[in-house]
């Protein structure tokens, strides 16, 4: 069993680690630990990697593992974190918002999502947040019905990492 106490970096935020990952991956020397977003907040867990390596994580309290975090690098092995994709609602804000709607639209969206204590991820004019079932999309279409001219609401499944600058708790 390998015990890991901290991350080395992240392949999506460190060009050197990314390059090393790509080189080692081409030689089949990379392994990953697949976890869900809730597990990413745990500081102690035991997991098997994609190649069967037994790993004990004993991270510093407050650590949040991220998609692409590198746990170990050796000449013959790199171990990374892979977050599981999850179901997400996507609210696309159209660019047709008139001046008199400039406050109402974002405040209404923020109020509704905030009342449900959902973490969010912002990407341009898109707002992503986790959902449990596809039927929630219909609920959000009803909630935002009066704003339907300004919004497109859909769902997707992908890796979700909430905005770091917002302290969120889910119910």
**Range 39-66 average pLDDT:** 94
pLDDT value for 127:
93
The whole-number average pLDDT for the span 97-113 is 79
Mean pLDDT over residues 28-39, rounded?
A: 96
* pLDDT over 80 (residue 59): yes
Rounded average pLDDT over 56-62 = 93
91: domain range? 86-158
Task: Give pTM, 2 decimals.
Answer: 0.80
Give the CATH number of the domain where residue 8 resides: 2.60.260.20
Answer whether residue 168 is part of any domain. no
Evaluated on CA atoms 6, 3, 40, 61, the torsion sign reads negative
Same domain for 72 and 8: yes
CA distance 64 to 88: 20
């Amino acid at each position: 069993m390998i015990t890991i106490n901290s991350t080395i970096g992240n392949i999506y935020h460190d060009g050197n680690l990314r390059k090393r990952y790509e080189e080692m991956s081409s030689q089949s020397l990379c392994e990953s630990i697949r976890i869900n977003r809730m597990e990413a907040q745990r500081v102690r867990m035991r997991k098997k990697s994609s190649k069967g390596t037994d790993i004990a994580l004993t991270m510093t309290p407050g650590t949040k593992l991220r998609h692409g975090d590198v746990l170990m690098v050796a000449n013959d092995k790199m171990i990374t974190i892979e977050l599981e994709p999850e179901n997400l609602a996507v609210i696309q804000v159209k660019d047709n918002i008139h001046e008199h709607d400039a406050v109402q639209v974002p405040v209404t969206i923020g109020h509704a999502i905030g009342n449900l204590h959902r973490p969010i991820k912002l990407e341009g004019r898109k707002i992503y947040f986790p959902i449990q079932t596809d039927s929630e999309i219909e609920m959000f279409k009803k909630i935002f019905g009066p704003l339907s001219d300004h919004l497109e609401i859909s769902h997707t499944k992908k890796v979700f990492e909430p905005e770091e600058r917002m302290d969120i708790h889910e119910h």
